[in-house]
Amino acid sequence: MSTPPPPGVYVPAVLFFDENEEFDVPAIKQHVLRLARGGVTGILVQGSNGEAQHLSREERKTAIALTRQTLNESGFENVIIIAGTGAQSTRETKVFNEDAKDAGATFALVLTPSTWPKAMTIDNIIRFHTEATDASPIPTMIYNFPGVTGGLDLDSDIIYTLSKHPNIVGTKLSCGNIGKLQRLTSRLAPSEFAIYSGRSDTFVHGLNAGSAGVIAALVNIAPRVHVDVVRMWREGGEEREKAMELQAMLGHADWASSAVGGIGGIKAVVARHFGYGAKEGWVRGPLQPANPAKLQEDNLSYKILVDLVSLEKAGNGLPN
Amino acid sequence: MSTPPPPGVYVPAVLFFDENEEFDVPAIKQHVLRLARGGVTGILVQGSNGEAQHLSREERKTAIALTRQTLNESGFENVIIIAGTGAQSTRETKVFNEDAKDAGATFALVLTPSTWPKAMTIDNIIRFHTEATDASPIPTMIYNFPGVTGGLDLDSDIIYTLSKHPNIVGTKLSCGNIGKLQRLTSRLAPSEFAIYSGRSDTFVHGLNAGSAGVIAALVNIAPRVHVDVVRMWREGGEEREKAMELQAMLGHADWASSAVGGIGGIKAVVARHFGYGAKEGWVRGPLQPANPAKLQEDNLSYKILVDLVSLEKAGNGLPN
Amino acid sequence: MSTPPPPGVYVPAVLFFDENEEFDVPAIKQHVLRLARGGVTGILVQGSNGEAQHLSREERKTAIALTRQTLNESGFENVIIIAGTGAQSTRETKVFNEDAKDAGATFALVLTPSTWPKAMTIDNIIRFHTEATDASPIPTMIYNFPGVTGGLDLDSDIIYTLSKHPNIVGTKLSCGNIGKLQRLTSRLAPSEFAIYSGRSDTFVHGLNAGSAGVIAALVNIAPRVHVDVVRMWREGGEEREKAMELQAMLGHADWASSAVGGIGGIKAVVARHFGYGAKEGWVRGPLQPANPAKLQEDNLSYKILVDLVSLEKAGNGLPN
Amino acid sequence: MSTPPPPGVYVPAVLFFDENEEFDVPAIKQHVLRLARGGVTGILVQGSNGEAQHLSREERKTAIALTRQTLNESGFENVIIIAGTGAQSTRETKVFNEDAKDAGATFALVLTPSTWPKAMTIDNIIRFHTEATDASPIPTMIYNFPGVTGGLDLDSDIIYTLSKHPNIVGTKLSCGNIGKLQRLTSRLAPSEFAIYSGRSDTFVHGLNAGSAGVIAALVNIAPRVHVDVVRMWREGGEEREKAMELQAMLGHADWASSAVGGIGGIKAVVARHFGYGAKEGWVRGPLQPANPAKLQEDNLSYKILVDLVSLEKAGNGLPN
C-alpha cells in the first residue's frame, strides 16, 4: 500500500521554449523556482499544460531531471515531482513510468489512452491502469481530462474501482465535476487515495468536499494566491469566507486564461509580469503562440489576469 | 425588471402515468402534495424529468393546471410553479410560454433548441432566448442541460449576457459545472438573477458559491432532506458541516438514481416507499419502465436510495 | 407485408413562410407543382428540411393536406406523399402516423427520438420503431439522420433487423454512408425494402449500389436534373457516364447549399430563380433566414447553385 | 510539384507481435510477402491498423526498414512504402517524416493532431500540414480518420486547400464519405493529387467517382480480391458489374472485421487461414487480443470473413 502525495497546491508547470521550440532552460528554471518559492507542495511535469503530448521521450526525461535539479540546488528537496506519463499504449506508459522514476519523479499521473474510443470499455480502462501500475516503480495516479482524451471521461465508479489498487494513490479531476469528486472523497481517506481538483474553478469547492487540494494550470501564474487559499481555508471561520471570495476570483481567472489563448497565453502573461520566458509565449505546433491582440488591458479577460498577478505580487511583497 | 423566484428547494416533478401512458391523476396529486408538505419552495412542471418532451400541448397545460389546483386546494398557494417551455422553434416556445401563464405557472424555464446543432451559434442562442422572452407574459429562466440537448452547453459568458435581459431572471444549471455557477453568482445578485444547481450532487457546493438553491430530480424522492439541508446550511457553524455530510449522501443518491434507471426508477422508488403511483414506474417510450432487477436490496444503488428514503421518513416522523 | 414506395426521386419539400412565420400558401402550392412537374415520384412533407420540428400538430396536418390537394387539383394523383412523423415519444409518433394517414400521406418516415441519448440502446431503438409501426395505419420507413438526432446513427445491423417488420418498408439514409447503404441493398430487394440515399452527394453512388433512388434537399432546387439522372443511369452505357458527371456537379451543389445557409438559403435561391416565395428565405427561429451576403455571384457556393438552376431551366426549356 | 503514388490497392499492414508484444519478425515478413504477391501497389506502414500510435520512434523506423528490406529481398522493389507519420506536435511529425525517408518510405501519410480539439481551427489544421510538409524530405498525403482523432474530420474545402501545396500529393479518406471524395476527384486529377478510399466498403464507389484506389484494412486479409476488383473495374462492361458484386461482399466483410474485434481480429483471421502470426492476434494494450468466442463458424461475421478468405485462396490457386 503506497502513500499518496500530501495535500496541497500542485502546478502542472508550463514548459518554456525559445523561438526554435527548443527548451528555454533559464526560463524553465526561473519558473520552477518561482513556483517553489510560491509555496507549492509539488510540481506536475508533463501535464497537458506542460505539453507532454509534444515532447520526445528524451525531452520528457530532461524536463523532469531539470526540474528536480533546479529544486534541489535551491533547497527545495521537499517539493514533490509528479510526472505525467500516459501514452497511447500500455507498453509505452510503462516505459514512461520507469523513465519518470529514473529522472527524479516520485509519482506518475497516468492519462487514459483514447486513440480508439470504442475500444475503451470499462474493462479496458481498468486493465490499462492496472497493468501500467503493476509494472510501475513509483505509485501512480489517475489523470481524468476529457478535454484531451476525445471526451473519454472516467466516472466515480471506475475511479473508485481503481483506487483499490495498492499502488494507485490518487487522481486529478480536470473534468471539473464536483459531484464525482465528492463521491470519491466521501469513500476514500486522503491518506489512502488523494483526490485533487484539476481546475482552479473547483478548488475551494473541492476542499469543502474533502479534496487533498488542487493541481491546476492557473497556479503557473499565481502559486502564492493558491497556497494562501489553502491556508485560509484551513484556518476556518472568517478566513474560510475570504477563501471563498478568492475562489470567485480564481474561477474568473481560470476562464480568462483560456480566453487569452490557453497555454501560450499563460506563458505570455508570466513572461510579461514576472520577467522570464519569451513574451510571445512560444508553444509547439499545432498550438499557436499567444495572440498579442488579446493581451491588452481593454480585454476583460486579460484585465482579470492582471488583477490576479497584482494579488500574487502583493503577497510576495513585490511591486506590481 | 422582473423579480426572480425566491431561494429554496425546487423539484422537477416526475409525472405519473398508468399502464396506458395516460395521466395517473391521483398519483400526480399525491406526489404534488407530498412535495409541498416536504417544504419545497416551488415545483418545476415539465422539466426533462417531468417528460416534457413526451407531452402534447394540451397535456402540458393540463399538468400545470392540475398541479396549481392541487396546491391551492390544500393551502399551498405560496408554492411557486415554474413551467418548462423550451420547444424546437422560437415560435412554439412562445406558445408554451403563453400556455404556461394561462395554466397557472409563474415562471417559464426555457431549454435551448438543438435540432440543428451547427446552427446554434452564440448569436442564435442569444436571439432565441431574447425573442422567446420578449414575447413572454411571465419571466423566463435559462435551462442549461447538455444531457438532453445533444451536448449543447451554454457557458458563463452566454448566460451572463442573457441575464441582462430585464425579463430573464435565472437559470438551472443541470450541467453540474460549479465553476460556471460561481462565475455567475459572483456577478449577479440572487435578487436580480437566481442561479440554481440543477443536480443534487452540486447542491451544497452551489449554496457555498452563492446559488439560490437547487432544482433537482432527487427532490422527488426526498424533498424534506433537501429542505433540511438548506436550513442547516443557513444556520452555519456546525449545522453547515452536517449539511455537507448530507451533501455527500445526496451525491451518491443522485448517481444511484441514474443507475437504477433514471425517470422510471425514481417513480418506482416513490411508488414502493410512499404508496402512490404504479410500482412499474411507467414512463412514455422510447424510455423504459423501471427494471425490477435493479430495485433489489442487494443492488448497492438501490440500497443508497432506500437509505435516503429512511432519512426522509425520519424527518417526517414516519415509519420506514 | 406492405409494399414500399416505388423507386425514383423524392424531395423533402421546404415549407414557405411569410414574414410572420405563417404558411405562405401560394408559394407552398407553386413549389409543390414545380416539383411535380419536374417529375418527382413523391414528396416528403415534414422532413427536417421541411422544418418538421418547428410545426404544431395542426400545421403538420395542414401541410400534408395542402400538398395532397395541390397535387390532385393538377392531375398529380400519382405523386406519392411521405410524411415525416418521428416525435420524441413513441406515443406522439403514433399520433403523427394517424394524422399523416388522415391528411393524405401514403407512407410515414420515422425519425428516432434522441432526447435522452444514453437511453437509446439498440433494444430501445428497435422497440420504438416496432411499436410505432405496429400501431400505424400506413407503412413506415426509418429516417436515419444523425445531424438532427444529436449524433444517434443507426447502423446496418439495426436497420436490417427493423426491415424484417412487415410494415417497415424502407429507409432514408441521410448519414451519407454508402457502405451502410450497400450492406442493406445487397440483402434486401427494393420490392420488399426500399433504400434511398438521403443526400444528393450520394445519389448515383446509391443507384450503383442498388438503391431505390434519392430523397434529398437539393431536389427542391433542381427536381428535373435529379429525374434526368435517374433516367440516364437506367439507360446505361454512355448515358450512365453522363449521369456520373452530373453526380459530380450535384455533390458540389449539395455542399454549396449548406454553405449558403441551409434551409433558408435553399428557399432564397428558389425564390430568386423560380419566382415564388419570399426572397428572404424565411425560416422559423432559432434558424436564421438567408444571409444576402452569401447569395452573391462572387460567392463560389452561390455560383455553383446558379449553374444548377441554369441546368434545371434548360431541361425545362425555360430561359435562365 | 511532386508526383502522387500511382493508382492501385494499398494496405495499412497490421504489425505482428509475439506474446511479449515484441515484433514477430518472421510473421511480419511473411505478411509483407503475401501482400506483395497478392499484387498490392504499396504498403502503408504505421497506419492506425499498423498500431502506429503504439510504437516508439525506433520501432517505427525498424518496421519501415524491415518492410522495405523484405520487399527488396524478394524482387518487390517496385512496391511502394507509405509511412504513417502524424504525431501530436508539428515538430515530432517533422522528425517522423525524416525518419520515414531514412528508413525507406517514399511517401508520408500525415494524421492531424487532436490532443486539443478546440485548438484545431481550420487555420491551425492548414498551418500544421503546411509546415510539416514544407520540412519533409518526401511528399506527404493527408490522412483523414475521425475515428482516431476524437471526431476531427477534415472537409472537402480544407483538403482542397491543402492539395494546392506542391508537396502534398494525396489523401486517404477513412471517413468513408463518398460525397467528399467526389468533390475532390472532380477538381483534382489523380496525376496531381491522388484520392484513396480509406475503407473497403467505399472501394468501387470510389473508383466510380474517380479515386486512385483504396488503402484499407481488409486488404490485409484479401489483397488479391481487392486487386482483382480494380482489374475488373478497369475492364468495364460486365466485368465492372462483377466488381460491384464483389464490392457488396467487401462491404459486409469490412463491417464483419470490426465485429470480430478490429485489429486483433484481423491478425487472428490471418494467422488461422494463412499460417503465420499468433492465433491469439496479439495487439498492444489498451487494445485487446482477438476474442476466440467471436472466431467461430456460427458467428455470421466470422463466416463472412471465411468466405472472403476462400475467395482469396481460390484466386491464389490455393486450397481453402
Question: Has residue C196 been placed in a domain?
Answer: yes
Find the catalytic residue in D10, D61, D101, D143: D143
CB-CB contact of C45 with C85 (8 Å): no
Cβ of A178 within 8 Å of Cβ of B255? The answer is no
A–C contact: 3+ Cβ pairs < 8 A: no
- Angle at which helices A300-316 and A263-274 pack, to 10 degrees? 50
C90 touches chain B (CB under 8 A): yes
C291 touches chain B (CB under 8 A): no
CB count within 10 Å of CB C67 equals 30
B182 touches chain A (CB under 8 A): yes
Residue whose C-alpha cell reads 471524395 in the numeric block: D181
Catalytic residues of C: 143, 172
Cβ of B285 within 8 Å of Cβ of C150? The answer is no
B183 touches chain A (CB under 8 A): yes
B248 touches chain A (CB under 8 A): yes
Cell numbers that stand for C246 in this block? 452530373
In angstroms and rounded to an integer, the radius of gyration of the C-alpha atoms of chain D is 18
Residues of chain A with C-beta less than 8 angstroms from the C-beta of B189: none
CB count within 10 Å of CB A212 equals 25
User: Cα(A301)–Cα(A306) distance, rounded to whole angstroms?
Assistant: 9
Cell numbers that stand for A206 in this block? 473541492
**Nearest alpha carbon to residue A22 among A73, A53, A59, A47:** A59
List the single residue in C with minimal CA-CA distance to D244.
C209
Question: Has residue D81 been placed in a domain?
Answer: yes
Residue type, C226: H
Residue whose C-alpha cell reads 403511483 in the numeric block: B277
Cβ of B127 within 8 Å of Cβ of C56? The answer is no
DSSP letter at A47 equals S
| Phi, psi for residue B130 in degrees, rounded to 5 | -65, -50
Cβ of A178 within 8 Å of Cβ of B201? The answer is yes
Give the nearest partner residue to B54 out of C54, C88, C149, using CB atoms.
C88
Give the nearest partner residue to C248 out of D180, D186, D202, using CB atoms.
D186
The parts of chain B modelled with pLDDT lower than 70 are: 316-320
C69 touches chain B (CB under 8 A): no
Task: Chain A: list its partners (3+ Cβ pairs within 8 Å).
Answer: B, D
Residues of chain D with C-beta less than 8 angstroms from the C-beta of A55: 89
User: Would you call the peptide bond into C113 cis, given omega within 30 degrees of 0 as the criterion?
Assistant: no
C10 touches chain B (CB under 8 A): no
Coil vs helix vs strand at D222? coil
List the single residue in D with minimal CA-CA distance to A150.
D150
pLDDT in tens, chain C (320 residues): 799 999 999 999 999 999 999 999 999 999 999 999 999 999 999 999 999 999 999 999 999 999 999 999 999 999 999 999 999 999 999 999 999 999 999 999 999 999 999 999 999 999 999 999 999 999 999 999 999 999 999 999 999 999 999 999 999 999 999 999 999 999 999 899 999 999 999 999 999 999 999 999 999 999 999 999 999 999 999 999 999 999 999 999 999 999 999 999 999 999 999 999 999 999 999 999 999 999 998 999 999 999 999 999 997 555 54
Cβ of A255 within 8 Å of Cβ of B183? The answer is yes
D179 touches chain C (CB under 8 A): yes
Give the number of C-D residue pairs with CB atoms closer than 8 Å.
75
B70 touches chain A (CB under 8 A): no
Q: What is the pLDDT of residue C1?
A: 79
User: Cα(C19)–Cα(B50) distance, rounded to whole angstroms?
Assistant: 34
Shortest Cα distance, chain D CAs vs residue C302, angstroms = 15
User: Cα(D44)–Cα(D90) distance, rounded to whole angstroms?
Assistant: 21
Counting every residue written for chain B, the total comes to 320
Q: Which of A19, A46, A53, A282 to mutate to test the interface with D (most CBs of D within 10 A)?
A: A53
Chain-centroid distance, C-alpha D114: 20
Cβ of A202 within 8 Å of Cβ of B179? The answer is yes
**pLDDT tens, A137-178?**
999 999 999 999 999 999 999 999 999 999 999 999 999 999
Helices (H), chain B: 25-37, 57-73, 90-103, 122-134, 156-163, 178-185, 203-208, 223-235, 237-259, 263-274, 300-316
Question: Has residue B285 been placed in a domain?
Answer: no
CB-CB contact of D124 with D151 (8 Å): no
Residues of chain C with C-beta less than 8 angstroms from the C-beta of B56: 57, 92, 95
User: Cα(D296)–Cα(D260) distance, rounded to whole angstroms?
Assistant: 10
Residue type, D3: T
Residue type, D63: A
Residues of chain A with C-beta less than 8 angstroms from the C-beta of B204: 208
Question: Has residue C303 been placed in a domain?
Answer: no
Cβ of A183 within 8 Å of Cβ of B156? The answer is no
Shortest Cα distance, chain B CAs vs residue A118, angstroms = 19
Shortest Cα distance, chain D CAs vs residue C68, angstroms = 33
Residues of chain A with C-beta less than 8 angstroms from the C-beta of B209: 205, 244, 247-248
Q: What is the pLDDT of residue D315?
A: 72
Catalytic residues of A: 143, 172
Give Cα separations from C28 to A183, C224, D111 (angstroms): 56, 18, 47
B–A contact: 3+ Cβ pairs < 8 A: yes
Quick one: which H or E segment has residue D224?
A: helix D223-235
Give the nearest partner residue to C201 out of D182, D202, D247, using CB atoms.
D182
Q: Is C159 annotated as a binding residue?
A: no
Question: Has residue B301 been placed in a domain?
Answer: no
In the predicted model, is pLDDT for residue A318 greater than 60? no
Handedness of CA A15, A19, A25, A26 (dihedral sign): negative
Output the average pLDDT for chain B: 96
C52 touches chain B (CB under 8 A): no
Which residues lie closer than 8 Å to C207 by C-beta, 6 or more apart?
C213, C230, C233, C243
Say which CATH number the domain at C58 has: 3.20.20.70
Task: Chain B: list its partners (3+ Cβ pairs within 8 Å).
Answer: A, C
The parts of chain D modelled with pLDDT lower than 50 are: 319-320
Shortest Cα distance, chain D CAs vs residue A74, angstroms = 33
Give the nearest partner residue to A53 out of D21, D89, D131, using CB atoms.
D89
CB-CB contact of A49 with A235 (8 Å): no
Residue-range definition of the domain harbouring residue A218:
8-235
List the single residue in B with minimal CA-CA distance to A185.
B248
Question: Has residue B297 been placed in a domain?
Answer: no
| Number of compact structural domains in chain A | 1
Between the CA atoms of B134, B140, B141 and B144, what dihedral angle is there, to the nearest 10 degrees? -60
**Nearest alpha carbon to residue B225 among B43, B34, B80, B51:** B34
Cell numbers that stand for B136 in this block? 413572454
Cβ of B285 within 8 Å of Cβ of C90? The answer is yes
Question: Has residue C288 been placed in a domain?
Answer: no
Q: What is the pLDDT of residue D256?
A: 97
Cβ of A89 within 8 Å of Cβ of D125? The answer is no
Question: Has residue D126 been placed in a domain?
Answer: yes
Residues of chain B with C-beta less than 8 angstroms from the C-beta of A179: 176, 199, 201-202, 251, 254-255
For residue C177, the cross-strand partners are D177
User: Cα(A265)–Cα(C318) distance, rounded to whole angstroms?
Assistant: 59
CB-CB contact of B93 with C287 (8 Å): no
Cβ of A208 within 8 Å of Cβ of B208? The answer is yes
Catalytic residues of B: 143, 172
Quick one: which H or E segment has residue A81?
A: strand A80-84
Shortest Cα distance, chain B CAs vs residue A251, angstroms = 6
Residue whose C-alpha cell reads 487514459 in the numeric block: A112
**Nearest alpha carbon to residue D284 among A56, A110, A132:** A132
CB-CB contact of C287 with C264 (8 Å): yes
